[in-house]
Amino acid sequence: MIERERLQAFFSQEVQSHNAHISHSDDKEEALKAVCQAIVWACALDAFRSQPTTPGSAAYRTLRRSETCGQHLEGVRYARSRAAHQAAELVRVVERATFPAFSPVPLFEITWRLAAALPAPETDHLDRAGEDAYIRLLQDQPVRFTFDALARFFKHAA
């Protein structure tokens, strides 16, 4: 399996795990772990695809900036950078489902925190485009919406 496929499979597995936990169990801790792992794999896949030595990296970066689903990824990267060592600080557990929802309806949601509630940014790594994408597309939204957008983007970018 090539590296891109491996990273994409790891991301997909964690998203499936997250979706199963919020729909079929009340195990918030396992759902939270799956979210944190999915963030790691999405960013790793993005980093791999963005490397100048990776064939098609320039087209990939252009697609990421131009498509809304790719802009979700910019928001995720921004959030991850804000809390690289505090991943659980990016999201919160909400005791309700958000619609639209899949069947069975989630027992709870894990949502992105408001940008103001994220750990303070490092002053030497300011990312205005990522911050804008986070505020527009992620903050206070269920992570599953973001994961759906990322899955669409990674599929399209393949």
Q: What is the pTM of this model?
A: 0.82
| pLDDT for the residue 120 | 78
For residue 3, give Cα distances in angstroms to 10, 71, 135.
Answer: 11, 23, 31
Contacts of 114 (CB under 8 A, 6+ apart): 139, 140
Task: Answer yes or no: is pLDDT of 51 > 80.
Answer: yes
Proportion of the chain in helix, strand, coil states, percent, rounded to 5: 65, 5, 30
Task: Answer yes or no: is pLDDT of 125 > 80.
Answer: no
**CB 31, CB 21: distance < 8 Å:** yes
1 or 14, greater pLDDT: 14
- Give residue 27's pLDDT band: very low, low, confident or very high (50, 70, 90): confident
Q: Which of 32-46, 52-66, 108-122, 140-154 has the lowest mean pLDDT?
A: 108-122
